[in-house]
A and B are shown apart, each in its own frame.
Chain A
Amino acid sequence: MRPELLKGNLDLLLLSILKERPAHGYAIIEELRARSDKAFDLPEGTVYPALHRMERAGLLTSHWSDGEGRRRRVYQVSGLGEQALAAKQAEWQKFNRSVRLVLEGS
């Protein structure tokens, strides 16, 4: 799938993954790839800028975690992020329904 198709929806996907449990960048990308049946196979480095932007916007928080001999930045959804996720999910469902109605009517 072309990466630009994800534009506008990446925040929703990242929030959705992180809502279940805090995770570091590599795990987030692996989860994104696995859940989408490898459809969302982004250049991995481009996910980090989105994570940083969302953290700046207050949707995520992060902290360093030491374990398994590695120092990792672990992200988790903030209260504001949970609100944003709910709003984006509702928006997506509405959009999805509308697209389906259009396609089924054609």
Chain B
Amino acid sequence: MAQPGSINDYLLRLSIALDHDFPTNAALVHRVASEARDHLEQAATAHRAAGLSPADAERKAIEQFGPPERVAGQFARELGGRLSASGLLVRSMLHAGGLVGALFIALGATGVLMAAGAFAFGFDRVTGMEQEPITQAQTPSDSDCAQLAAMATNGPDTLSPQECERLYANWLRGIGTEVSFFFHTLLTFGSLIVLGIGVALVWAHRALLRWHTRGADDCSGPAKVHAILGAAMFGYVGVLVWPGVVEAWVFSEKTVDYPALAGALVVLSFFLGYARSVRAQYS
């Protein structure tokens, strides 16, 4: 924890002030904080050489640099500062486009994995099937419908003839799946992998931050917030949203949980912001 009045404390306040004025420009905040650190440390060294105590030397260096809010305000005036409302809207739309693309990539990748798994294991050789395998006849039998209803984990217990025919047609096209054990295993492990990547990234981020700031990672408060948000987002997307959305999409199109999907989009937008922040932090 930075001592009040110390250089670390000053840099924390400067980062917060800059983050307020440049909420979408983590690279600038990081660069200015780095330059200010170098400047203040060099100034404090010169003051110590002139006979001041270490604490007084830091205080004088900070005083000569100016109040952090004033410095941040000067940056805002010189560089344009906060984005306008329209600028934020455009940036949000770009984020939205990116996250929709990411969602499609995730769904597509899941589909590819599922297809590969079905190809490897065979549709009719899966375990956990308590009923007879689906017949692949032109029209679904009653047992086919019961089987499809059992697989539609987010759907009704029984299917109407129309719904059964639709799902059956999907299944014949290879969209619907009877490889429930494989599917659930894939999603479970896939979710854990996503969550694991998230946790690893957050830890790597913190470690890099410590190394980069020579142990004084408290100069980047916003980055900590991003790290915490990132962990929460990976967890939410990885464990809760992704399997549910994919499962609903694959098994029964009508049961897609749109509120959850909207939540996932919001969370993903935060994730993209986090990823961008981390990238900018070390660029």
Contact = CB atoms under 8 A, between A and B. Distances in A.
B64 A49 contact: no
B130 interface: no
A53 B80 CA distance: 9
Contacts of B77: 49
Given A52-B79, A53-B79, A56-B79, A46 B38 contact: no
A8 interface: no
Nearest to B71: A45
Given A44-B43, A44-B66, 13 more contacts: A24-B35, A26-B42, A43-B65, A44-B64, A44-B65, A45-B68, A46-B66, A48-B39, A49-B74, A52-B32, A53-B78, A73-B31, A73-B35
A21 interface: no
Contact of A70 (B31, B41, B68): B41
Contacts of A44: 39, 43, 64-66
Contacts, number: 64
B24 interface: no
B40 to A, nearest CB: 9
A22 interface: no
Q: How large is the interface on A (under 10, 10 to 19, 20 to 34, 35 or more residues)?
A: 10 to 19
Task: Name the prevailing secondary structure of the A interface residues.
Answer: helix
B249 interface: no
A39 interface: no
A70 B213 CA distance: 11
Contacts of A49: 71, 74-75, 77-79
Contacts of A48: 32, 35-36, 39, 71, 75
Interface in A19-46: 24-26, 29, 43-46
Interface of B: 28, 31-32, 34-36, 38-39, 41-43, 64-66, 68, 70-71, 74-75, 77-79
15 contacts: A25-B38, A26-B38, A43-B64, A43-B66, A44-B39, A44-B66, A45-B39, A45-B66, A45-B68, A46-B71, A48-B36, A49-B77, A52-B78, A53-B78, A71-B34
A57 B171 CA distance: 60
Interface of A: 24-26, 29, 43-46, 48-50, 52-53, 56, 70-73
A100 to B, nearest CB: 31
A45 B74 contact: yes
A10 B78 CA distance: 13
A45 B36 contact: yes
Contacts of B38: 24-26, 70-73
A53 B34 CA distance: 17
Contacts of B71: 43, 45-46, 48-49
Contacts of A24: 35, 38
Contacts of B75: 48-49, 52
A106 B68 CA distance: 44
Contact of A45 (B28, B31, B41, B70): B70
B60 to A, nearest CB: 11
B78 A70 contact: no
A71 B42 CA distance: 11
Contacts of B43: 26, 44
A24 B43 CA distance: 13
Contacts of A53: 78-79
Nearest to B66: A43
